[in-house]
Amino acid sequence: MTSIPAERQPMLRFLAVMTAASMVGLQGYTILFNNYAVEVVGLEGNGVGVIQSIREIPGLLAILALLLMLFVKEHRLSALSIALLGIGTGITGLFPSYFGLGVTTLVMSFGFHYYETTNQSLTLQYFAKGVSPLVFGKLRSLAAASSIVSGILIWLLSRFLDYKGIFLVVGGVVFLAGMWGVVQEPTHVDVAPQQQRMILKRAYWLYYLLTLLSGARRQIFMVFSVFLLVKLFHFSVQEMILLFILNNCIGWALNPLIGKAIVRFGERHISSVEYAGVIAIFLVYAYTDSRLIASLMYILDNILFNFSVAIRTYFQKIGAPEDIASSMALGVTINHIAAVFLPAVGGYLWMINYRIPFMVGAGLGAISLLAAQFMKTDHAAPELKDAPLPPYTVAETEQI
């Protein structure tokens, strides 16, 4: 990515550091959460579902980021969000109770979701249409590498520290990265001014629908696939860490290729592959009794989850440049409409029969596959058409 022009490099560097920090915090929390919830707090499936629903409330409120941007620059809000993520992660182990876990999860989640909102917006604003999928792919590859580092760090810390100590160390690292971001100034003047209010347009209906379905499917993946491995197949924290590391090694290698595939084949084809795979994976989750097969499905599920970047690059092709910040904030909110209630409802359905949430996930995949057929973009259009900044050369695009 060294070929990117000098005026874009500060934003690229800023997003790289913030993305790495966000993944260290999120993966640190995710790796430890299920074991911590079961072993220390003593939660069952319904309790875990409620906590996961609480975690998604800040995502539902992501649209409020537009209000905050009236007083705080978007990139600075991004850095402050990372700092908040670090605080929430760091204090999780200090409150080992159902209520305490709910509160610390809420704090952590506000930081993560508001960073995701600004991260998506800044990437689409600062990088041209044919290049943004490649940048997203590279940033996701960096996120995977950061997750590997986080997994190794937790593996090592788990030999010397209890849950409280591990949460404090991981949260402290993320907080310091956020403070670094606060003092940076990576912006550039040649970017379309953004709408400071919520934008809701009929022309964007497919983006809204796919985002809603993606959010519902994501909850099945994040909540119940991991819980399946811990509760039914009795994966230890060390085994979960190894699985996370393997997942992210694969993600580190594949994410740049996913970005290139979006540029080459277009969003409709990539999304169709994703949703067809989702249907098969959830059906296998529901009926397998093999630890190995369940693990393989989790890895495949994680790979396909990275295909969802196509929804955002699809919007960049159909949306007005000035609508990006507002639409990304609205998109995160829409993405979490189902996320707020689905984990809690799914937790109770789990208590009836653990297969039910996965059958619901397969159904969501089928609806998504049908909807994806309506994605119409000229993915072969010149990379630099309507670019908000001075154009990239073909050589620069190829080297990203």
What is the number of domains present in the chain? Answer: 1
Task: Report the CATH number at residue 24.
Answer: 1.20.1250.20
Cα–Cα distances in angstroms (integers) from residue 177 to residues 71, 88, 122, 229, 331, in the given order: 22, 14, 18, 32, 26
In the chain, where does DSSP find H-type helix?
Answer: 9-36, 45-60, 65-68, 74-90, 98-126, 132-157, 163-182, 205-219, 226-227, 237-265, 267-287, 291-305, 309-318, 324-335, 337-352, 355-372, 394-399
What's CA 288's distance to the chain center, in Å?
Answer: 27
Cα–Cα distances in angstroms (integers) from residue 181 to residues 13, 185, 188, 394, in the given order: 10, 8, 16, 31
Assigned domain for 86 exists: yes
Assigned domain for 384 exists: no
**Cα–Cα distance, 136 to 9 (Å, whole number):** 15
Q: Residue 34: name the closest of 231, 174, 166 by CA.
A: 231
- Residue 17 in contact with residue 177, Cβ under 8 Å? yes
Residue in the block written with tokens 């700092």: 83
**Cα–Cα distance, 170 to 241 (Å, whole number):** 14
SS3 391: coil
Assigned domain for 395 exists: no
Region of 391 (left: φ > 0; alpha: ψ -120 to 50; beta: rest) is: beta
Residue in the block written with tokens 């050369």: 393
User: Rounded to a whole number, what is the distance in angstroms from the first to the last CA of the chain?
Assistant: 4
SS3 369: helix
**Amino acid making up residue 348:** Y
Assigned domain for 272 exists: yes
- Residue 173 in contact with residue 17, Cβ under 8 Å? no
Residue 387 has a pLDDT of 41
What does R_g of the chain's alpha carbons equal in angstroms? 20
Assigned domain for 294 exists: yes
Written as six digits, the tokens of 243 are 């699985």
Mind giving me the DSSP string for 267-290? HHHHHHHHHHHHHHHHHHHHH---
Q: Could you tell me which residues come within 8 angstroms of residue 250 by beta carbon, excluding any fewer than 6 positions away?
A: 144, 299, 302, 303
Assigned domain for 171 exists: yes
Residue 38 has a pLDDT of 79
Give the residue numbers spanning the domain of 125: 8-186+197-379
**Cα–Cα distance, 386 to 389 (Å, whole number):** 9
Residue 87 has a pLDDT of 94
Angle at alpha carbon of residue 246, lines to 158 and 340, rounded to 5°? 80
| Tens of each residue's pLDDT in the chain, 400 residues | 445 555 667 888 888 999 999 989 988 888 788 778 878 877 776 777 788 778 878 877 877 777 787 788 888 888 999 999 999 999 988 888 888 888 999 999 999 988 988 888 888 777 777 777 787 888 888 888 888 888 788 888 888 888 889 999 999 999 999 999 888 877 765 655 555 566 777 888 898 999 888 888 887 887 788 888 888 888 887 787 788 778 878 888 888 888 888 888 888 999 999 999 999 999 999 998 888 999 999 999 888 888 888 888 888 888 777 777 778 778 778 877 876 677 778 878 888 888 898 998 899 999 999 999 998 765 444 443 444 443 443 333 344 4
Written as six digits, the tokens of 11 are 């934003």
Does the CA dihedral 386-319-78-210 come out positive or negative?
Answer: negative
Residue 389 has a pLDDT of 42
